[in-house]
Structure 1
Amino acid sequence: MDALNTLGLFIGSLISNTLASLSGGGAGLIQFPLLIFLGLPFSIALATHKIASVALGIGATIKHIRNGTLAWKLTLYVIIVGSFGVILGANLILLIPVKFAEAALGALIISLGIYSVTTKELGQISAPQHRNALGFIVGAVSLFIIGIINGSLTAGSGLFVTLFLVRWFGCDYKQAVAITLVSVGLCWNTIGAVAIYQAGATIYWPWLPVLLVGSLLGGYLGAHLAHQRSNQLIKRCFETLTFVIGFKLLLNL
């Protein structure tokens, strides 16, 4: 890559990961297609993107720990129950029709945005609920399924986790985004990257340093903005990304 393409890759990575860190997901919206545009085949771009996305989680985790915004017990719960789905999904991606899966995912993500838009007070205040044995069992099944999506596809799983934490466990958007960035951005993505590499995917190592720097800085910057801004603004960013990502996945058919 020449200097211009390297700069473009860094800027794309920085922007996509800042938005993802602010909204709770969606880094693959810009970063993954950019890798394909610059010449990487789908499977190599996917594996490379997943490795780079780990830095998003690192940057966001550092900032959220410093801010003291994490609910650690709920975060560890999300990490543990979703990790099994991530491993399964990383092995399934080589077996399922990617276009069909992405179309279905796009429709589901759009439905998340519609639900959030039409539910005005959603995630504006913390109102803990379903934090009993049955609630955690239902949550574990749901997060396992979302983990499969995270392990197999390129964008959107963090948005599912964010909205699930808001709707099912009664988190506000700030709490949900913080938990999502640590559990999904750092832990799930690390597990998924290792699993997809072991499943036979190839990583394009020469581009990783630029992507890692952009992801790390973007994760930290987005977490900083999320801490400074209101739940209402984070909700609007979340909704915007759901529509953009959802329609992008549908239009890829």
Structure 2
Amino acid sequence: MSISLLFLCFAGFVAAFVDSIVGGGGIISVPAFLFAGVPAHIALGTNKFSSTFASFSSSIKFISSGKVDFKIVKFLFPFTLIGAILGVNTVLMIDAKYLNTIVLILILFVGVYSFFSKTVGLEDRFESLNKKNLFLGIFLAFSLGFYDGFFGPGTGSFLIFGLIGIYKFDFLRAAGNAKFLNFTSNITSLVLFIIKGQVYFKIGIPVAICMIIGAKFGTGFALKKGSKVIKPIFVIMSLAVAVKVLYGMR
């Protein structure tokens, strides 16, 4: 195994560990692929391939631990799917760079608000599913599915923050539901990357294995430590995504 592949496997493990807890793993894994000399378009497709398997592994563990609310996500995930399909197709017509400023402002707001709020996401105060929060959840799922399909940075953070705001979940429960919805947009995007021949399987498969292991440990850490530990990691990764977007604007 080459040094580059070992580096990518390690980066993939760390990225999946973090991503399974609070999202944002792409800011670790995508630069790692580029640093290893993988062409940009292949890097995006191969990363999506590897991270989708990790996302699936994390989703399964959250499901088995009862942290995914199917009575809610059964209404939301079809709209995430539709949004992702439209997003992937729209990226061919719209220059994503115009979103940089908007995304930077939003993700900074998410991180800073979470940091200064003493109670957000620390208590699970979900009461019931109603027409209002169902509509807001569908809008969130569709919008972020679309966003993830053609741009992506911060999707996991936005989902977690949105689910906390709409359903009053704690960070742990929000992370479980967010991971399930994020997996939906990931698998949709992956299918299109494969169809277009943008996945390098020789690298993607070993990195995927390491990402699955990282996701397994990350999800276990989240379930064991709970929302009080997830919150600071969430804030750090939100601000890290903001830095990444700001750097990309240079």
- Normalising by structure 2, report the TM-score: 0.92
Whether the 8 Å CA contact 1:76–1:183 is kept in 2: the answer is no
Structure-1 residue corresponding to 2:231: 235
Percent of aligned pairs sharing the same letter? 24
Partner in structure 1 of residue 189 of structure 2: 192
Aligned pairs for 1:97-108 (under 5 A) are 97-108=95-106
Q: Distance in 1 between matches of 2:134 and 2:238?
A: 26
Residues of 1 paired with 2:184 and 2:228: CA distance? Answer: 27
Q: CA 1:62–1:76 in 2, change beyond 3 Å: closer, same or farther?
A: same
Residue of structure 2 equivalent to 1:5: 4
Unmatched tracts of structure 2, length 5 or more: none
CA distance in 2, matches of 1:13, 1:191: 20
Superposed displacement of residue 75, structure 1: 2.6
Tell me which residue corresponds to 1:208: 204
Question: Deviation string for 1:180-227 (max 9, x for gaps)?
Answer: 11221x2221012113444x4622222111221122111111110000
Aligned residue number for residue 135 of structure 1? 133
| 2: CA distance, partners of 1:43 / 1:154 | 14
Note the C-alpha offset of 1:130.
7.4
State the alpha-carbon separation in 2 of the partners of residues 93 and 37 from structure 1: 24
Aligned match of 1:220: 216
Query: How many angstroms apart in 1 are the aligned matches of 2:96 and 2:35?
Result: 18
Letter in 1 for 2:186: N
- 1:4-83 matches, cutoff 5 A: 4-23=3-22, 25-83=23-81
Distance in 2 (CA, whole Å) between partners of 1:210 and 1:106 is 33
Q: Measured at CA, do residues 196 and 92 of structure 1 come closer, stay the same or move farther in structure 2, by a change above 3 Å?
A: farther
Partners of 2:102 and 2:35 lie apart in 1 by 23
Check conservation: 2:193, 2:199, Cα contact below 8 A.
no
Name 1:114's counterpart in structure 2.
112
CA contact (8 A) 1:91 1:195 kept: no
Match of 1:170 in 2: 168
- Native 8 Å contact 2:80 2:184 kept in 1: no
Q: Residues 130 and 136 of structure 1 are in contact (CA less than 8 Å); yes or no, is this contact kept in structure 2?
A: no
Give the match's secondary structure for 1:168. Answer: helix
Following the alignment from structure 1 to structure 2, what is the Cα–Cα distance between the partners of residues 100 and 34?
25
Which residue of structure 2 lines up, in the alignment, with residue 161 of structure 1? Answer: 159
1:105 deviates by: 2.0
Which residue of 179, 182, 194 corresponds with 1:181? 179
Give the counterpart letter for 2:233 in structure 1: C
Q: Distance in 2 between matches of 1:179 and 1:195?
A: 24
Q: Which runs of 5+ in 1 are unaligned?
A: none
- The answer as to whether partners of 1:56 and 1:215 remain within 8 angstroms in 2 is yes
- In terms of mean alpha carbon deviation, does 92-101 or 109-118 score higher? 92-101
How far apart are the structure 1 equivalents of 2:67 and 2:213? 19
CA contact (8 A) 1:59 1:218 kept: no
Q: CA deviation at 1:129?
A: 5.4
Question: Partner residue of 2:150?
Answer: 152
Structure 1 vs Structure 2 CA RMSD: 1.8
Offset of residue 231 of structure 1? 0.9
Secondary structure at the aligned position of 2:179 is classed as helix
Count of aligned residue pairs for this structure pair? 249
